[in-house]
């Protein structure tokens, strides 16, 4: 049985939104673990890493309470209750530094293995690497056969993490650690495990499944790892997906229905406790050893979906909850309390008509983060721009559906209000010409405005606000007398139309051939919104961190943030024209913050919205 990517989720609770959640929590997965234990005569329970970071409880322990010598980390307490046999490290275990990690795993009642993270430089031979942890363990178990006789078995368990930790956590690891290619590491250690008497060998691969050709230092190497002789079965993770499962259909070497990687049994148990990865092996005594004579794999879930509704299928285990009740309560207090301060109001009431603090802060944090991540890469030194869109901007969400945080304290729950989706950060490398097209696509949210005409509707309501990217780091004007170049789906409407004018970088007209790094999210970089040329082909950096986490880190790092918008985009004036748009009634208090747009109240809008007029 495998848990993976728990990210500190023990309670079925979404701390970011400060409300219960039925799709997360080791306390729920625990119910499935125990029912399998009751049913199966022989079992092992492993964790595949990324247990330490990824929700506010993790941040609370790391940033607020700390880990003194002898302190117990709540996720380890919960895991100890369940009696894990072994765990490995995921990439997020390094997010709070090595010292914090080592103190945390000191409290574990189970061994933690990791074969490919070294202290200092890599040795010539992997088996001479000086490692932080044991590369593998061999667990001695007695197993009961069908008629009740007991036999000894030696199960070898070896752990791997993506070598990209050296880039993602450079600030913690540079000069202290190194990481070796997953498959190379396995090839070195698995024969030794055999020599040491392992009857079967199970890889704990905190790495996803990728059918591309093997490359050195590959991040998602589980498929190629399955090809290593001597490995009998694999638990995978890191991808936050489910295996067996349809997400891995039609990949060469992968049987997504039967749960096989190059014919070997494999499973991935979702994330945040959502699923339990199960590999059910049929073993037969083979002389002095054991052989696998059959297997099935599965990944039962703690919930079902009915449309958008999440229906729990198991209850929480009370003893698991009880062990971290105190930290749960402290985390609730933490998410409701300030982690930093903002010197300006953070709101999105005018996000569609002017540069806006709620978008500005996201871009500031993304730029700050990508600047760190580009260090030591071939992209270091390229100008960094940042794309961000208003997520909560009324529309179908209604007149209250806006970000609205007053100056002063910023709490964690405000950050989730600011960044609604659990996206992860990505960066793309594109040219100045492609920056322009990105903005042309965004500018399709506006209707065309005719000179001289009054009270024209400004916003095309078919166009979702999350596709209205503002790009920070350049300045530009939007000329609404022009038709939109792209329609609301991203198809070219009018190839000759250009709404983006005066596009400048560093105060000078942008060079269409200059290269830029643009910070964005996995949705946009993966082709979401069908933005011209923005897809996997231009992605240069896939972050392990959510945009939300990056914003929290930015606020913690800065203490006080100043999200005042820098007015880097405005409308080009249109002779004699006015336009109207609707926003929440609470917008009134912030009218004075809107610079460069001539705006006045224009009465009530539909369904509780307030109407405003812009003199273009």
**Residues near Mn ion (CB under 5 A):** 5, 50
Size of the chain, expressed as the number of residues it contains: 616
Alpha carbon distance 139, 86 (integer Å) = 9
Q: Which does 5 bind (CB under 5 to 8 A by kind): Mn ion, Mg ion, none?
A: Mn ion
C-alpha distances out from residue 401 to 349, 398, 580, 608, Å: 9, 5, 19, 11
- Three-state DSSP at 287 gives coil
Among the listed residues 18, 487, 533, 566, the single contact to Mg ion using CB under 5 A: 566
Considering beta carbons, is residue 224 or 392 the nearer one to Mg ion? 392
Q: Say which entry of Mg ion, Mn ion, none residue 533 contacts (CB below 5 to 8 A, set by partner kind).
A: none
**8 Å CB contact between 310 and 23:** yes
47 binds, among Mn ion, Mg ion, none (CB under 5 to 8 A by kind): none
Token code pair at residue 545: 């961190």
Q: H or E element: which one contains 127?
A: none
x/- map, 466-495, Mg ion, by CB under 5 A: ------x-----------------------
Residue 5 or residue 317: which is nearer to Mn ion going by CB?
A: 5
Nearest approach, Cβ of residue 53 and Mn ion (Å): 9
Residue 50 contact, options Mg ion, Mn ion, none, Cβ 5-8 Å cut-off depending on partner type: Mn ion
Residue 593 within binding range of Mg ion, rule CB under 5 A = no
Q: How far is the CB of 5 from Mn ion (least distance, A)?
A: 4
Which entry of Mn ion, Mg ion, none binds 210, CB below 5 to 8 A by partner kind? Answer: none
CB neighbour list of residue 424: distance below 8 Å, 6 or more residues apart: 521, 522, 542, 543, 544, 545, 546, 547
Stretch that binds Mg ion, among 360-368, 369-377, 410-418, 421-429 (CB under 5 A): 360-368
| Ramachandran angles phi, psi of 532, nearest 5° | -55, 125
**Does position 568 bind Mg ion by CB under 5 A?**
yes
Shortest Å, Cβ 397 to Mn ion: 29
- Residue 266 Cβ, how far from Mn ion at the closest point, in Å? 17
Closer of 498 and 568 to Mg ion (Cβ):
568
Query: CA gyration radius for the chain?
Result: 27
d(CA 73, CA 93): 13
CB 173, min distance to Mn ion, A:
17
- Name, in order, each residue with C-beta under 8 angstroms of 85's C-beta and a sequence gap of 6 or more: 44, 45, 46, 110, 139, 157
Q: CB of 240: closest distance to Mn ion in angstroms?
A: 6
CB of 278 or CB of 387, closer to Mg ion: 387
CB-based contacts of 480, cutoff 8 Å, min separation 6: 446, 447, 448, 449, 499, 571, 572, 574, 579, 616
CB 446 within 8 A of CB 484: yes
What's the number of CA atoms in the CB half-sphere (13 Å) around residue 115? Answer: 27
Size of the site for Mg ion (CB under 5 A): 5
Query: CB of residue 355 vs Mg ion: minimum separation in angstroms?
Result: 4
Nearest to Mn ion of 100, 402 (CB atom): 100
460 binds Mg ion (CB under 5 A): no
- Which listed range, 122-130, 318-326, 489-497, 567-575, lies at the site for Mg ion (CB under 5 A)? 567-575
Of residues 52 and 158, the one with the C-beta less far from Mn ion: 52
Q: What DSSP letter does each residue of 483-551 carry, written as one string?
A: PPSB-TTS-BS-TT---EEEEEETTEEPPTT-EEEEEEEHHHHTTTT--TT-SGGGEEEEEEEEHHHHH
Here's the x/- map for Mg ion, 320-359, by CB under 5 A: it reads as -----------------------------------x----
- Helix axis angle for 74-82 and 26-39, nearest 10°, is 10
289 interacts with Mg ion by CB under 5 A: no
Provide, rounded to whole angstroms, the least separation between the CB of residue 386 and Mg ion: 9
- Chain residues binding Mg ion by CB under 5 A are 355, 360, 472, 566, 568
């Amino acid at each position: 049985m495998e848990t993976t990517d728990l990210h500190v989720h023990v309670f079925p609770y979404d701390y970011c939104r400060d409300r219960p959640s039925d799709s997360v929590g080791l306390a729920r997965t625990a119910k499935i673990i125990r029912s399998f234990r009751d049913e199966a005569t022989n079992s092992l329970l492993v964790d595949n890493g990324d247990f330490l970071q990824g929700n506010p409880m993790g941040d609370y322990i790391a940033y607020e309470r700390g880990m003194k010598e002898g302190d117990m980390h709540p996720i380890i307490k919960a895991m100890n209750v369940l009696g894990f046999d072994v765990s490995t490290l995921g990439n997020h275990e390094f997010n709070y530094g090595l010292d914090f990690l080592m103190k945390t795993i000191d409290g574990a009642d189970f061994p933690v293995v990791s074969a490919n993270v070294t202290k200092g430089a890599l040795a010539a031979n992997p088996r001479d690497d000086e490692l932080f942890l044991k590369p593998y363990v061999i667990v001695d178990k007695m197993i009961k056969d069908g008629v009740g006789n007991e036999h000894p078995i030696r199960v070898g368990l070896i752990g791997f993490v993506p070598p990209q930790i050296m880039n993602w956590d450079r600030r913690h690891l540079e000069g202290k650690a190194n990481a070796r290619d997953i498959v190379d590491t396995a090839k070195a250690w698995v024969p030794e495990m055999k020599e040491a008497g392992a009857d079967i060998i199970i890889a704990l691969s905190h790495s996803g499944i990728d059918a591309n050709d093997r490359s050195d230092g590959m991040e998602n190497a589980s498929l190629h790892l399955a090809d290593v002789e001597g490995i009998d079965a694999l638990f995978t993770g890191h991808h936050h997906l489910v295996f067996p499962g349809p997400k891995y259909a039609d990949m060469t070497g992968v049987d997504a229905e039967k749960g096989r990687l190059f014919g070997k049994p494999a499973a991935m148990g979702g994330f945040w406790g959502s699923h339990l990865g199960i590999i059910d092996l049929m073993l037969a005594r083979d002389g002095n050893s054991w052989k696998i004579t059959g297997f099935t794999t599965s990944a039962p879930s703690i919930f079902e979906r009915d449309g958008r509704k999440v229906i729990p299928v198991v209850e929480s285990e009370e003893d698991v909850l009880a062990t971290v009740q105190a930290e749960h309560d402290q985390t609730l207090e933490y998410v409701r309390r300030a982690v930093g301060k903002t010197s300006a109001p953070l709101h999105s009431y005018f996000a569609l008509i002017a540069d806006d603090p709620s978008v500005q802060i996201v871009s500031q944090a993304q730029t700050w983060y990508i600047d760190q991540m580009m260090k030591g890469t071939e992209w270091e030194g390229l100008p960094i721009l940042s794309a961000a869109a208003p997520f909560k901007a009324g529309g179908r969400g209604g007149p209250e559906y806006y970000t609205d945080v007053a100056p002063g304290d910023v709490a964690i729950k405000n950050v989730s209000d600011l960044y609604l989706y659990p996206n992860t950060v990505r960066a793309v490398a594109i040219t100045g010409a492609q920056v322009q097209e990105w903005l042309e696509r965004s500018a399709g949210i506006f209707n065309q405005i005719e000179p001289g005409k009054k009270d024209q509707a400004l916003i095309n309501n078919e166009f979702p606000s999350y596709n209205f990217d503002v790009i920070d780091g350049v300045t530009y004007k939007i000329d609404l007398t022009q038709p939109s170049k792209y329609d609301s789906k991203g198809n070219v409407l009018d190839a000759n139309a250009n709404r983006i004018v005066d596009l400048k970088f560093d105060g000078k007209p942008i060079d269409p051939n200059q290269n830029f790094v643009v910070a964005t999210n996995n949705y946009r970089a993966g082709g979401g919104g069908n933005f011209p040329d923005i897809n996997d082909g231009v992605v240069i950096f896939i972050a392990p961190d959510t945009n939300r986490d990056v914003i929290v880190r930015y606020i913690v790092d800065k203490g006080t943030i100043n999200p005042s918008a820098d007015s880097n985009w405005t409308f080009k004036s249109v002779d004699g024209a006015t336009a109207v748009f609707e926003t929440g009634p609470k917008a009134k208090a912030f009218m004075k913050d809107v610079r460069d747009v001539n705006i006045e109240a224009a009465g009530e809008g539909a369904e509780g919205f307030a109407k405003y007029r812009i003199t273009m």
